[in-house]
Amino acid sequence: MPTETSKTTAATTLPELNKLAAALSHPVRWRILKELANGQPHMVLEVARAVGCSADMTSKHLAKLRAAGLVVQGHAQLYQIPAQLLPTPGAAEVDCGLCLLRLDSV
């Protein structure tokens, strides 16, 4: 039987529904997630080139995704999707617990 602590830990790793919905409300953010779905960390400029957006605008989109818990900013300001949200390495999908985002059609 799970303890109260394990329930709390599991709940905090999932994005909140309202933040998730707000983060997914822009098509560029979907393209960013698709770019990061391989599980490898990327620099802002790499993501910007891949999604066809300026570095400044990409940073703003990454901030929204980060606030929702869909991406994390690691060492040397590299962005990636948290490992617990990637069900299979290299798969074009993100498992948010509340929903499964299939990014291969983006």
Q: Which domains does the chain possess?
A: 15-102 (1.10.10.10)
Confidence band, pLDDT 50/70/90 cuts, at residue 89: low
Mean pLDDT value across residues 50-59? 96
85 vs 106: CA distance, rounded Å: 18
User: Residue 94: which H helix or E strand, with range?
Assistant: strand 93-95
Q: What pLDDT does 79 receive? A: 97
Q: Which residues contact 85 (CB under 8 A, 6 or more apart)?
A: 70, 94, 95, 96
Tokens (6 digits) for 70: 């869909």
Which of 73, 74, 63, 78 is closest to 26 using CA atoms?
63
33 vs 27: CA distance, rounded Å: 10
Is residue 11 pLDDT above 80, yes or no? no
Q: What pLDDT does 85 receive? A: 84
Q: What pLDDT does 90 receive? A: 61
Mean pLDDT value across residues 29-41? 90
Tokens (6 digits) for 68: 């929702």
Record the pTM: 0.78
